Chain A
Amino acid sequence: MSRFEYAPAPESRAIVDIKSSYGLFINGAFVEATDGKPFKTVSPASEEVLAEVSEAGPADVDKAVKAARKAHEKVWGPMPGRDRAKYLFRIARLIQERARELAVLESLDNGKPIRESRDVDVPLVAAHFFYYAGWADKLEYAGAGPDPQPWGVAGQVIPWNFPLLMLAWKIAPALAAGNTVVLKPAETTPLTALAFAEICQQADLPPGVVNIITGAGRTGENLVTHEGVDKVAFTGSTAVGRAIAKAVAGTDKKVTLELGGKAANIVFEDAPIDQTIEGIVNGIFFNQGHVCCAGSRLLVQESVYDEVLARLKRRMGTLRIGDPLDKNTDIGAINSPEQLARIRELSQVGEDEGAERWSPECELPSQGYWFPPTVFTGVSQAHRIAREEIFGPVLSVLTFRTPAEAVEKANNTPFGLSAGVWTEKGSRILWMANQLRAGVVWANTFNRFDPASPFGGYKESGYGREGGRHGLEAYLAH
């Protein structure tokens, strides 16, 4: 049977207006970096240089923290919660108004499909600001005592996989609680954070309440170790999270860390097969697998292994890889050459260690950074591809016979961020949910996020929660 071919359906990028260069957003205005160097941000799908941004040096970090301190003490801290709420509602509305622009900008800078940035990232960003806006004048009900107080200045460092969404997860609860923030977006995806700075200006947010400083690891290090920062929030790799936890040891800084994962996605023999296949695909190929909670270890009950694998491969064959701005694209570009090299290296290790590698036939664009959706079978628990976070569209498949074995294998990892369970049996879902040592358990679904739903890890996946009342607590002294 011949298949219908898709015509290209590109989203227009005319909606975005990218400047050739950006300064740092400190104290309500874009300013030149005083002691940093400019660096380029490129579109990973085309390697086109999108803009030049400034690397914030130590003096810039200091300036931003001082601006945040002043804004906290003079304006944002004393402001009635009702008014902080209104500012956050304004921001939420502005995000909705500029939703398409932000989605296009995100896909350009990050490489993720427009379908995801438009339907997942940006709507969730607006939802987060709406959710936490409503908390700002109800803090005494947040569970942190009758007179909860903000910590002060929050230093926040976020990753490149969901640039604007991670910004929202960090800034919305911090501001609602009465903190001011200095946020550093990832080196490779600064543009939507800088667009957010403009949104803060449009909202007439008082200067210094939100400061956005761009840069790489050194800038982040300077920020989290700055003595004027009271609260550190980081999302990213476990290695960097560990370094931050070491760096703040012995200080009074409060820390929340949302780190890596190696989630088990567990398929029982009675699972609804069509939904399960979609869930597996969504679990590992959503956002090119650049997801800390990705379902990267598929555990399939032996009795249905052949059927699940056959259907999974057939489904993978229909995934469309290419232009992130094409509305039909399922899998976009890998965010950076460094990440691509990491995915290639670990995939090679997978082969070298004896696992069997398979990808559907697909043509990859000649420009940009690309990796095909890949599945490894014959994977054992000792294989590096079953233990280490690959952070790419690479799925490792293992099998099990009994529920107890599934639990044993699922929990056999230093991580504990998320897990998935697929079965029609309700009692088994609840039993599995109890047994799995992970902060989020998706049963008969995967990769769902909501501002009202606490998210965060066990063990080496970090500590603290984002989302919901729990996420607010991280920004309140108690």
Chain B
Amino acid sequence: MVWRPTLPTREPGRLDVRKTYKLYVGGAFPRSESGRSYVVTNAKGKFLANASQASRKDARDAVVAARKAFGGWSTRTAYNRGQVLYRIAEVMEGRHDQFSAEVAAAEGLSISKARSLVDASIDRWVWYAGWADKLAQVVGSSNPVAGPYFDFSLPEATGVVALLAPQDDSLLGLTSVIAPAIVSGNTAVVVTSFERPVPAITLGEVMATSDVPGGVVNILTGSASEIGPWLASHLDVNAIDLCGIEDPDEARELEAAAAENLKRVRRPAEEDWFASPGLSRLTQYLETKTVWHPIGV
């Protein structure tokens, strides 16, 4: 058992220092360029924060940051990406109390239920971290072609992925859409739950202190319905996860917009975030590259 100090109860009369809730783009914490913010409450309607309300311009800036980060992140060794993801889990563990309180407030859960969600979220980062240097062995192949050629297929990251995070599940669901996208070398633009963005904002702070290069994960608080169409039609976005879109007509429109540059689209579906994730979110954002070379003397 690791020793931890027991902290004394905080001074009851102390006026606490509150945080400004901002976006996380390109490794920095800007406010929305639009100057907009919106009120976030807890599940009972009590004021929690004024979150930045991201705009079309913020989404475009985030895509630029994600594209800029893609070359470096996707060419890191898989071992290194795995360590960075594991580092995210480590840093989250240190903020366990904060996450638990925020998830409890956002989702209206008991603190013990919230704690189990935070546990599962941290464990999920660990699970995905381990995939970094195993994916190519599981989904790649050596191809026995009928001729004197060495032929192999490897998975590669698709590129910039837009993730419209689930609206209900503020941390475990969020983690479960981000981790599989970035572990293989993609970079991400995330639109958080509109009503429950606080754990996502804190996750941004974790990213910033976990050796995740700036731009690999960009977090926008605001409305997926408002920002989604700009990301779905953005020609420098390679894939989109429509998870956070609850209206089927809206999902259809976004999928149709995404067809413009043949984005890889993940349609919204019933999700059980506690279930074992399987490979499908990992392979969703992978391309297969096949390389041929003649064999001869």
Contacts and interface: CB of A to CB of B under 8 A. Distances in A.
A454 B292 contact: no
Nearest to A259: B262
A459 B262 contact: yes
B149 interface: yes
Given A238-B262, A468-B153, A459 B288 contact: no
A127 B181 CA distance: 36
Interface size of B as a range: 35 or more
Contacts, number: 112
A445 B153 contact: no
Nearest to B259: A245
Given A434-B75, A459-B261, A465-B288, A450 B293 contact: no
Interface string A447-478: 01010111110111111010011100000001
A448 B292 contact: yes
A315 B244 CA distance: 57
B259 A249 contact: yes
Interface in B95-139: 138-139
A246 B153 CA distance: 29
Interface string B279-292: 01000000111111
A453 B151 CA distance: 7
A459 B263 CA distance: 7
B34 interface: no
A143 B288 CA distance: 14
A203 interface: no
A438 interface: yes
Interface string B143-173: 1111101010100001100000000000000
A432 to B, nearest CB: 10
B146 A450 contact: yes
Given A245-B262, A249-B256, A459-B262, A440 B289 contact: yes
A243 B259 CA distance: 8
Contacts of A452: 143-146, 151
Contact of A450 (B143, B264, B265): B143
**Residue with the greatest number of chain A CB neighbours at <10 A, chosen from B265, B280, B290, B293:** B290
Contacts of A460: 261-262
B287 A439 contact: yes
Contact of A439 (B143, B238, B249, B288): B288
**Residue with the greatest number of chain B CB neighbours at <10 A, chosen from A249, A440, A465:** A249
B85 to A, nearest CB: 21
Given A143-B139, A439-B287, A445-B294, A246 B262 contact: no
B224 interface: no
A317 interface: no
A444 B146 contact: no
A134 to B, nearest CB: 12
A456 B290 CA distance: 9
Contacts of B80: none
Nearest to A238: B262
B143 to A, nearest CB: 4
A249 B265 CA distance: 9
Contact of B143 (A143, A433, A453, A456): A453
Nearest to A426: B293
A445 B293 contact: yes
A73 to B, nearest CB: 24
B290 A454 contact: yes
B252 interface: yes
B255 interface: yes
Nearest to A242: B259
B140 to A, nearest CB: 10
Contacts of B280: 478
B153 A454 contact: yes
Contacts of A259: 262
B141 A470 contact: yes
Contact of B149 (A127, A246, A434, A445): A445
A470 B289 CA distance: 11
A454 B293 contact: no
Interface residues of A, number: 43
A437 B260 CA distance: 19
Contacts of A241: 262
Contacts of B153: 453-454, 468, 470
A429 interface: yes
Contact of A440 (B141, B149, B292): B292
B290 A455 contact: yes
Given A259-B262, A439-B288, A450-B147, A444 B293 contact: yes
A224 to B, nearest CB: 13
A233 interface: no
A444 B159 CA distance: 27
A414 interface: yes
Contacts of A462: 262
Given A143-B139, A450-B145, A450-B147, A439 B289 contact: yes
Contacts of B151: 450, 452-453
Interface string A18-48: 0000000000000000000000000000000
Contacts of A444: 293-294
Contacts of B248: 250
A386 interface: no
A444 B148 CA distance: 12
A248 B260 CA distance: 13
B207 interface: no
B72 to A, nearest CB: 13
Contacts of B145: 448, 450, 452-453
Nearest to A463: B264
B191 interface: no
A434 B149 CA distance: 18
A305 interface: no
Given A143-B139, A468-B143, A453 B262 contact: no
Nearest to A127: B146
Nearest to A251: B252
Interface in A387-430: 414, 429
A414 B263 CA distance: 12
B238 A459 contact: yes
A438 B289 contact: yes
A257 interface: yes
B292 A456 contact: no
> Considering the complex of A and B, which 9 residue pairs feature the smallest CB-CB distances, nearest first?
A250-B252, A245-B259, A249-B255, A450-B145, A249-B256, A246-B259, A453-B143, A443-B293, A452-B143
23 contacts: A143-B138, A242-B260, A242-B262, A245-B256, A249-B258, A249-B259, A249-B265, A250-B248, A438-B289, A439-B289, A440-B291, A442-B292, A444-B293, A445-B293, A448-B147, A448-B149, A452-B151, A454-B141, A458-B158, A461-B262, A462-B262, A470-B141, A478-B280
Given A440-B289, A450-B143, A450-B146, 18 more contacts: A145-B278, A242-B259, A249-B252, A250-B249, A250-B251, A259-B262, A414-B261, A434-B75, A441-B290, A442-B291, A443-B293, A445-B292, A445-B294, A448-B145, A450-B145, A450-B149, A458-B289, A460-B261
